[in-house]
Amino acid sequence: MLVLVTGGTGYIGSHTCIELINEGFEVVILDNLSNSSFEVIHRIKEITGKKPHFIHGDLLDEKELQKVFNVYDIEAVLHFAGLKAVGESVHFPLRYYHNNVTGTLNLSKAMQETGTKKMVFSSSATVYSLHGTPPFNEETPLGAMNPYGRTKQMVEEMMHDLYHADPEWSISLLRYFNPIGAHPSGLIGEDPQGLPNNLIPYITQVCVGKLPYLNIYGNDYDTHDGTGVRDYIHVCDLARGHVLALKDLYNKRGVSTYNLGTGRGYSVMEIVETFERITGNRIPYRFTERRPGDIHVCLADPNKAALELGWQAEKDLTEMCKDTWKWQKNNPDGYSTAKKVVVTS
Ligand code: NAD
Ligand code: UD1
């Protein structure tokens, strides 16, 4: 069973490739390496013993995409490729709509033309309306608040329209909550470019002394300690969810939407304390203003994925932080110290 993984050298895609290979799938990765490194391919081979096929290509290149589907006999696509920085999307909305929406349009067209009609799509909890009351289930009203989130919402709608026009499609829309952690080997993990936007990579860079202290955005929220609460999920649990969602596509047609979260929330202070316990270091922090657009609590109701896919998160916060820390310690500069040679096969 040959599957195409777009964005497969990225953070979540690379962990999913490992899970797919371990489950017996043959993997072709397509990535333009705009936010990832070719070194990931070597690391996947080191972990699984198998080297995935790699195409250095772009979803915006329609001809290249058609070639991929003509050359490889692809059964299904796991579609991770996209731009994901919320703040950047506010400043460069067209770049986000072009890459995330047009890119998915091109991909879906190439799939439709070659009869590949199974897709797992990376959506996000960010599609939910901030006015909903957590925990969010899949019926919670949508209302993304920024261009990045709206690209996800638009693609979700596009997938519904595609199925209505052609009922042979099977599509799974996976709404991730807050993916963190790394592969337990310490060989692959999240490798943000520049100053991290998100909490966990920021904390780990404070831990290794690359950043002086953490800014905690607000300590006056309506939560038990005043700091924001999120549903953090280990990236390997998330990867397992993708394999189950993919297998499920072989049994049904239509569009299914699933939350992938744990249903359990942790505050920023609890995350700081867990990292302090694991690293044995004090993490300097300062309370600052709330970050615009943030909500007090974001939490998944993960019951639908449990009932229909038989999936639930297994790894707890300590494991998430331990694995993140192992990756960061082993790779203080991410993949950038590794030799960069791009080879396509
Ligand atoms: P990532 O940036 O690590 O991976 C995305 C990959 O896509 C990168 O390797 C990048 O080089 C590639 N890419 C981007 N545009 C491309 C294009 N036009 N053609 C080919 N390759 C392209 O991000 P991630 O954290 O692994 O996220 C994967 C997906 O999950 C994204 O769609 C993201 O929006 C979504 N998501 C992520 C999070 C999160 O917190 N990480 C949460 C919810 C949803
Ligand atoms: C972010 C994205 C969201 C995406 C989600 C999943 C933003 C604005 N939102 O949400 O679209 O779906 O990740 O990965 O980027 N915090 C600090 N200091 C920091 C960074 C964060 O206190 O330096 C706090 C935040 O206020 C929040 C929590 O930590 O309470 C988590 O923040 P973050 O990791 O950025 O994730 P989200 O805001 O949930």
Domain boundaries, the chain: 2-182+232-260
Q: What is the pLDDT of residue 15?
A: 98
Nearest CA to ligand 2 atom 21: 199
Burial 232-263 (b: 16+ CB within 10 A, else e): bbbbbbbbbbbbbbbebbeeeeebbbbbbbbb
Active site residue 148: yes
- What is the Å distance from ligand 2's center to 246 Cα? 28
Q: Do 7 and 311 form a contact (C-beta atoms < 8 A)?
A: no
Which CATH architecture describes the domain 2-182+232-260? 3-Layer(aba) Sandwich (3.40)
Q: Which amino acid is at 278?
A: I
Residue to mutate (ligand 2; options 199, 207, 233, 297; most atoms within 8 A of CB) = 199
Cα 236 from chain centroid (whole Å): 11
The secondary structure of residue 100, as a DSSP letter, is: I
Strand-pair category, 26-31 with 53-56: parallel
Question: Is residue 215 lining ligand 2, measured as CB closer than 6 Å?
Answer: yes
Q: How far apart are the first and last CA of the chain?
A: 18
Say whether the peptide bond before residue 302 is cis (omega within 30 degrees of 0).
no
Question: Is residue 12 lining ligand 2, measured as CB closer than 6 Å?
Answer: no
- Give the whole-angstrom CA distance, residue 311 versus residue 211: 37
Q: Which amino acid is at 117?
A: K
Nearest atom in ligand 1 to the alpha carbon of residue 152 is 34
Q: What is the pLDDT of residue 131?
A: 80
* Nearby residues of 80 by Cβ (< 8 Å), 6 or more positions away: 5, 6, 7, 8, 10, 12, 13, 16, 122
- Give the whole-angstrom CA distance, residue 271 versus residue 267: 6
Query: What are 238's two structure tokens?
Result: 């998330």
The secondary structure of residue 206, as a DSSP letter, is: H
Query: What are 138's two structure tokens?
Result: 């899949």
Please tell me the number of the ligand nearest to residue 176's CA: 1
pLDDT in tens, the chain (345 residues): 999 999 999 999 999 999 999 999 999 999 999 999 999 999 999 999 999 999 999 999 999 999 999 999 999 999 999 999 999 999 999 999 999 999 999 999 999 999 999 999 999 999 998 787 899 999 999 999 999 999 999 999 999 999 999 999 999 999 999 999 999 999 999 999 889 989 999 999 999 889 999 999 999 999 999 999 999 999 999 999 999 999 999 999 999 999 999 999 999 999 999 999 999 999 999 999 999 888 899 999 999 999 999 999 999 999 999 999 999 999 988 998 554 444 443
Q: Which of 11, 96, 97, 148 is catalytic?
A: 148
* Nearby residues of 277 by Cβ (< 8 Å), 6 or more positions away: none
Q: What is the pLDDT of residue 193?
A: 87
Q: What is the pLDDT of residue 337?
A: 59
Question: Is residue 298 lining ligand 2, measured as CB closer than 6 Å?
Answer: yes
**Closest to 320 measured CA to CA, from 192, 222, 215, 178:** 178
Give me the residue label for tokens 């924001």.
Answer: 228
- What is the Å distance from ligand 1's center to 80 Cα? 5
- Give the whole-angstrom CA distance, residue 204 versus residue 306: 31
- Give the whole-angstrom CA distance, residue 100 versus residue 144: 15
